[in-house]
Amino acid sequence: SGLCEGDNFPGGITNGAKWYIVEGGMQDFNYLFSNCMELTLELSCCKYPQDTELPGLWDQNRESLVKYLEVGMGGVRGIIRDSRGKGVDGAYVVVEGIEKNVTSTQQGEYWRLLAQGTYRIKAVKDGKESGWNAFEIKSIGSRYPVRLDLVIEDFVSGSNVVSISLLVVLVLPFLVNHL
């Protein structure tokens, strides 16, 4: 018999989907369609503990919760830049062997939680890519991520593309006709 009315959690951990199903939850949606990884931590057998019990639950779990937050600082992160050094918005960050890609921010920033191991990573935007870069995550418990900036060569971000295109369309015919 377990601590929670017959439930038994070997090592104190269970896969939530095996414990109870939440249909239509935001966790799966956010993981699949954004860069957000949400989780639920059950700190008590009681779904709705009394407010007077909360300080005790915090004290019992503080060290584990802080360690978990520190793990979230690890993995790999960096900035994806174009050939002029500008951050690339909306580039896909591809980790070889992992189906789920993450997307860079407006400033080109990306971050990816990864377990200990050796990986290859690249950035892809509009058919252009950075090429593969190898790196190693030495410890999942490290608070220090691998910093790996990626450059997509022959790619120019944002409004520069529009202005160059307009320059070619408007100015080039003028120059050809007047030179």
**Is 70 a catalytic site residue?**
no
Beta bridge partners of 125: 128
Q: CA angle, corner 40, sides to 9 and 38, nearest 5?
A: 135
The count of other CB atoms within 10 Å of the CB of residue 83 is 13
Point out the catalytic residue in the list 5, 38, 42, 70.
42
Task: Pick the closest to residue 105 from 14, 35, 9, 28 (CA basis).
Answer: 35
Three-class DSSP category at 112: strand
Alpha-carbon distance of 38 to 34, in angstroms, equals 11
Give yes or no for a contact between 125 and 89, defined as CB atoms under 8 angstroms apart.
Answer: no
Q: How far apart are CA 110 and CA 147, in angstroms?
A: 10
Write out the catalytic residue numbers. Answer: 42
